[in-house]
Structure 1
Amino acid sequence: MEDVVLGIDLGTSAVKTIAVNQCGEVIGQTSEPLTLIQPKPGYNEQDPESWVNAVKESIKTLIKSEEMKNKHISGASFSGQMHGLVALDKQGEPIRNAILWNDTRTTEQCQLIKNHFGDTLLENPILEGFTLPKLLWLQQNEPKHWQELSVFLLPKDYVRYKMTGDISMEYSDAAGTLLLNPDTKQWDKSVGAELSLGNIYPKLMDSHEYVGNFTEDVKASLELENDVCVFAGGADNACGALGAGVINETQTLCSIGTSGVVLTCMQGKENDLGNNIHYFNHALSNMTYTMGVTLSAGDSLNWLKQTFFDDASFDDIVQQASNSEIGANGLLFTPYLQGERTPHGDAFIRGSFIGLNRSTTKADIARATIEGITYSLYESYQYMSQSHTENKRMISIGGGAKNSFWLQLQADVFNTEVTTLKYEEGPSMGAAMLAAYGLGWFESMEAFVDAFIKYDKTYYPNLENHKTFGQYFNVYQQVYSQTQTLTQQLLNIK
């Protein structure tokens, strides 16, 4: 029988499970949908048990597929949505629904943290999405639940606990809580003591570390006869980088999904980052990464389609954009549809088009939207490049990597080589690689990348285009400061 490992990615909208063999080939894959619970505006929750059920269902479906005949599942690991708070009682059961990364109820708690520690904490900005503000919200708004709290976990760690019995958290996800020191890789319990959190911390481990096997009950529910070794796993961005082969300082990841991420590996922080750049531990034990986030990247394109191009496909929209010129006939778009994280950290800023004129076409609007998304990511990249040597190559994944026009635009705006993957599996591939590494299939992660990651096309920057984009980008950077006060006034009108 052929040995395979499972890479399980717990996203916000779905669970994706893949089976990978020792050649790095994806033998099969399945997905199960997830639903959001939104009891109030700005609230985003999920039932932790729905994650476990979806993971089990996706594995069962995969096991029963034709592709998995004569396959032996040796190991499994997880990737998952970051920051979400799963509060457990002394019996290890959830006290309430999980509060997710995209929940924005904690502005007051963020200000409280800033009052204690300043604008940054443990090398990171203080933002609504992180876990510590959620803990404070629970403490202040649900005292009965707070009294029941024994330990907190993050989403994928909860699923792993329910499937193995092991309560723990690995460093790449723990780095997004505002409670882990990313350099010492220890909980900073002085922060918790200052905020009266108590001893609610799980044990910590490396992403490739063995945590146990699927329990007998889980094996029975999956109709598995053999033991499956389970490894700790990683945060979705860390696993996404790993699954794209971004494991050293010569590479940058550009991922354009609903949100957008620019991520660069580093070995230790050289300077104070500022500008809401995140500093987290990678899934590799000796590596960290910096990251900038655009909250409405692909989501801006979704809004554009719903509003202006309802009957068109996304490919059609990008094709229309290519019919406009650089600068979109003097039109700029800022993708602040749900506020912005990097560099502004402003939950209340809103998007805008600047430069609409009588000759503006739908093609101009489409191009301005795509350029604005790319400018936002480039802004993060510029701030990140100030803290370390510039990178030689960018790996582009997600929706922005599905069209040659947008890929060339990325190369020109960033002024760097942009490469795509031949097979893009995202964070689930990174999780599978962690399981395979834990099993000892290869001696190093570099060897895994060589065997598992297949690169496709490379797009080279046009210097003249970059200079032209640079002029528009300089104006783009001024739009935030010029519209911030106006946006506040609009939001305050009752």
Structure 2
Amino acid sequence: MENVVVGIDIGTSSVKAIAVNRQGEVVKVGKKELKIFHDQPGYSEQDPNDWVAAAKSCLKQINDYCQREKYVIKGISFTGQMHSLVLLGKNFEPLRKAILWNDTRSSKQCEQIREELGKYVLSNPVLEGFTLTKLLWVKENEPAIWDKAHVFMLPKDFVRYRLTGKVHMEYSDASSTLLLNPKTNDWSRKTGDIFGMKDLYPALVASTDRVGTLSDSIAEELGLSNKIEVFAGGGDNACGAVGAGVMNEDATLCSIGTSGVVLSCEAQEDKTMYHNIHMFKHAKKQMSYAMGVTLAAGDSLSWLQRTIFPDLSFPEIVDLASRSEPGSNGLLFAPYLSGERTPHGDASIRGSFIGLSGMHTQADIARAVLEGITYSLYDSISYLRQTGKSITEIISIGGGAQSQFWLQLQADIFNSTIKSLRNAEGPSMGAAMIAAYGLGWFNSLDECVQQFIEYGETYRPDEERHERYQQFYDVYRDIYQRTKGMTTRLLELARHSKIQS
């Protein structure tokens, strides 16, 4: 019998779980798709009970395999989408659907917080994605639900509660709420009190803390042992960094999923960045990370496939893009399909093609979208470099790491060496590593990295191509200011048209 650990990732589009042995080999993957509700423009919600059902399904898939193949699950840890609000009543059942990280309804609440406390609160910019703004929206718009609220949680912490019966939130996720004081490592009740927050705060734990075992009822339902140890885990970006071995000062990660992330480790835990760079706790103790976010990174590619190339797969679209030239023959794409986080912090800005003419081909359009996504991530890298961070090597994971062409594109635009992972499992691997460390298989997370992580190919920037991309990027940076006013007017016209109809 061989021991394994399980990492469970509560994503936005699906729940994924992986079983990993002591050598870092993935022996089984379980996955279950999720439904997202968009009941109004700007709304993005999920049923928290769907996460639990999906996590159980993934665990059952893994356990059935493990029993057949003689593996034993010894530990479980969690990761998942950050910021998303789960509001629970006294019986610890959800009072409403979860308001997700990419929900933009709380612009008014953001303005209230900025007027009271400024543009940055507890080392982070005030943006619609963060949990405090969602709590205030519920307080102001759903008072009957607010009156019943007993505790708030984030997605992976809620699923962990349902599997263990223990209520906690860990630091890496808590630091993304606008309510954690990075200096004291405790809730900033002072901040909450300013806005009439009740005492909704769960107990705080570290990512690597053991928080219990599977409850008897869950163990019986899934055919698992009630002695399986459960560890807190971390937010998806923190665990993505662990799973990529990005855990030391200035180590940098680029992750392209639905959203896109540039993350660079930072030893100073209460440092305030600017240009809407976030500062969150890492899953590794005494380490934080500075992070920039592109809201519609892979989502822009999904839009391109859905609306323009429905008969092509993602690899075929990327291959098509490779047939165009750097700069897409003078075509630029701004990936602001869902607004933008870094550097603009604008929920109302929208995407655009600039320079489109009758001469442009499908290959130019495809390449412009890939370049636009990468330019947006380059925004974050540029601002991080301005703070003095040395970014000369970047680990790339996610959809952008599935293509040699896109990896080289990142190297050329970022002007940085890009390294891929030989087996990239993303945040779920980081969660599994936390469980492996928690069980005592390794003396440190860094030691676990040495065993679990194997790097793939390295891509080096071409100086001539970087200079060419830099010229197009300089034009790209003008798009936001020149289209912001037009976008605002268009949104107002669209809303007015819907009201009239």
TM-score (norm 2): 0.96
Which whole-Å deviations, capped at 9, do the CAs of 1:467-493 have from their partners, x for residues lacking one?
111111111111111111111122222
1:341 aligns with 2:341: yes
Residue 499 of structure 2 corresponds to: none
1:371 aligns with 2:361: no
Residue 266 of structure 2 corresponds to: 266
SS in 1 for 2:41: coil
Aligned counterparts of 1:188 and 1:225: Cα–Cα separation in 2: 38
Aligned counterparts of 1:10 and 1:279: Cα–Cα separation in 2: 22
Residue 182 of structure 2 corresponds to: 182
Aligned counterparts of 1:313 and 1:346: Cα–Cα separation in 2: 31
Kindly state the Cα deviation for residue 68 of structure 1 after the two structures are TM-superposed. Answer: 5.5
User: Comparing 95-104 with 420-429, which one deviates more in the overlay?
Assistant: 95-104
Kindly state the Cα deviation for residue 310 of structure 1 after the two structures are TM-superposed. Answer: 2.1
Residue 153 of structure 1 corresponds to: 153
In the TM superposition, 1:281-320 aligns within 5 A as: 281-320=281-320
Does the 8 Å contact 1:211/1:232 carry over to 2?
yes
Does the 8 Å contact 2:66/2:72 carry over to 1?
no
In the TM superposition, 1:235-254 aligns within 5 A as: 235-254=235-254
Does the 8 Å contact 1:260/1:296 carry over to 2?
yes
Residue 394 of structure 1 corresponds to: 394
Kindly state the Cα deviation for residue 41 of structure 1 after the two structures are TM-superposed. Answer: 2.4
Kindly state the Cα deviation for residue 457 of structure 1 after the two structures are TM-superposed. Answer: 0.3
Kindly state the Cα deviation for residue 241 of structure 1 after the two structures are TM-superposed. Answer: 1.1
Matching residue's letter, 2:73:
I
SS in 1 for 2:132: helix
User: Comparing 454-463 with 47-56, which one deviates more in the overlay?
Assistant: 47-56
Residue 414 of structure 2 corresponds to: 414
SS in 2 for 1:27: strand
Change (3 A) 1:289 1:138: same
SS in 2 for 1:419: strand
Residue 7 of structure 1 corresponds to: 7
Kindly state the Cα deviation for residue 388 of structure 1 after the two structures are TM-superposed. Answer: 3.6
User: Comparing 393-402 with 35-44, which one deviates more in the overlay?
Assistant: 35-44
Alignment RMSD: 1.4
Does the 8 Å contact 2:237/2:427 carry over to 1?
yes
Unpaired segments of 5 or more residues in structure 1? none
1:209 aligns with 2:212: no
SS in 1 for 2:280: strand
Kindly state the Cα deviation for residue 391 of structure 1 after the two structures are TM-superposed. Answer: 2.4
Residue 50 of structure 2 corresponds to: 50
Change (3 A) 1:307 1:36: closer
Matching residue's letter, 1:366:
A
Aligned counterparts of 2:197 and 2:340: Cα–Cα separation in 1: 29
Does the 8 Å contact 1:271/1:387 carry over to 2?
no
Kindly state the Cα deviation for residue 66 of structure 1 after the two structures are TM-superposed. Answer: 6.1
Aligned counterparts of 2:155 and 2:79: Cα–Cα separation in 1: 9
Kindly state the Cα deviation for residue 37 of structure 1 after the two structures are TM-superposed. Answer: 2.5
Kindly state the Cα deviation for residue 382 of structure 1 after the two structures are TM-superposed. Answer: 0.8
Residue 231 of structure 2 corresponds to: 231
Aligned counterparts of 2:96 and 2:347: Cα–Cα separation in 1: 25
Does the 8 Å contact 2:48/2:155 carry over to 1?
yes
User: Comparing 117-126 with 248-257, which one deviates more in the overlay?
Assistant: 248-257
Residue 105 of structure 2 corresponds to: 105
User: Comparing 159-168 with 309-318, which one deviates more in the overlay?
Assistant: 309-318
1:278 aligns with 2:278: yes
Does the 8 Å contact 1:182/1:279 carry over to 2?
no
SS in 2 for 1:20: strand
Aligned counterparts of 1:232 and 1:80: Cα–Cα separation in 2: 12
Aligned counterparts of 1:476 and 1:254: Cα–Cα separation in 2: 20
Which whole-Å deviations, capped at 9, do the CAs of 1:88-130 have from their partners, x for residues lacking one?
2222222222211121211111111111111111111111111
SS in 2 for 1:461: coil
Matching residue's letter, 2:286:
N
Matching residue's letter, 2:203:
K
Kindly state the Cα deviation for residue 271 of structure 1 after the two structures are TM-superposed. Answer: 5.9
Aligned counterparts of 1:26 and 1:454: Cα–Cα separation in 2: 13
Change (3 A) 1:221 1:269: closer
Aligned counterparts of 2:448 and 2:388: Cα–Cα separation in 1: 26
Aligned counterparts of 2:375 and 2:41: Cα–Cα separation in 1: 29
Aligned counterparts of 1:23 and 1:141: Cα–Cα separation in 2: 51
Which whole-Å deviations, capped at 9, do the CAs of 1:145-182 have from their partners, x for residues lacking one?
11111111111111111111111100000011100022
Does the 8 Å contact 2:32/2:57 carry over to 1?
yes
Q: Count residues with an aligned counterpart.
A: 494
SS in 1 for 2:318: helix
Aligned counterparts of 1:374 and 1:289: Cα–Cα separation in 2: 20
Matching residue's letter, 1:481:
Q
Aligned counterparts of 1:68 and 1:124: Cα–Cα separation in 2: 48
TM-score (norm 1): 0.97
Does the 8 Å contact 1:164/1:212 carry over to 2?
yes
Change (3 A) 1:442 1:324: same
Does the 8 Å contact 2:102/2:295 carry over to 1?
no
Residue 437 of structure 1 corresponds to: 437
Question: What percent of counterpart residues are identical?
Answer: 54
